[in-house]
Amino acid sequence: MRTCIAMLLACAALAPPLVGQWTIAPEVGLTAFSGSSRDSGGVRLGPTRATVVGLRVGRESARFGLGLRVLTGSTGVGATDGDLTVIEEHQLHLVEVAGFLSWQVARLGTASRLGVEAGPALDFWVPPGGAARSRVGAVAALSWAFPVSPRLDAALRLEGTLTGSLFDPADLPPSAERRATWRRGAGFALRWHRRARGLTKNVTFARNDEKRHFPAN
């Protein structure tokens, strides 16, 4: 819990002041893993692939955003030497808590937007019948968002996450070394947004000032 709070504080400290809108976005995606361990014979052991679902809450302005997402999914464990792969399905459950800073880098057409996102990630791996182990890392993503309705956007995302090896030293034989765990995936999100009340008031005041300082001829 202390680590999650520290992640939120770090993202809040790095983010520019946001006067904009609150957002909430359910997500679904496909993800694949690589890394985690490799032995002296070249055999690699680690998680395989998963369907993940998540929920993200954030606050955004015209150019910047700040968000927190919880993501979960189940995956198997696979061993491969490059020619033969053996997979035992449904061996690990992943829960990830990630904080995001986002930037709009380009506008495509009249309404769609291209953005980049980055932030810290905290992964909890839960084996069946075993104790959870946590790993800290970083996540980065590229997103393409486009409007569906005045208060609803859709977004396509390409994402990558890097954390420490999910294995503990006791999990592996002496001939194996632990390696970083990579997660790469693609996802789809529907994002509902609500304009902040303060922003509406500021716009109203600005219009009143315009009327007062620039009277009609």
170-216, pLDDT tens digit by residue? Answer: 888 888 899 999 999 999 999 998 765 544 444 333 344 444 444 44
User: Where along the chain do its domains lie?
Assistant: 2-213
Write out the two tokens for 37: 């361990």
What tens digit of pLDDT does each residue of 139-169 get? 999 999 999 988 899 999 999 999 999 999 8
Burial class (CB in 10 A: 0-12, 13-18, 19+), 39: middle
pLDDT score of 128:
84
Taking only the tens place, the pLDDT of each residue in 94-146 is 999 999 999 999 988 778 999 999 999 999 999 888 889 999 999 999 999 99
Say whether 84 sits in a helix, a strand or coil.
coil
Collapsing DSSP to helix, strand or coil, 21 comes out as strand
CATH of 2-213, one of 3.10.450.50, 3.40.50.1820, 2.30.30.100, 2.40.160.20: 2.40.160.20
Token reading at 76: 């198997």
pLDDT value, residue 211 = 43
The residue among 144, 141, 163, 165 whose CA lies nearest residue 153 is 144
Cα 129 to the center of its chain, rounded Å: 27
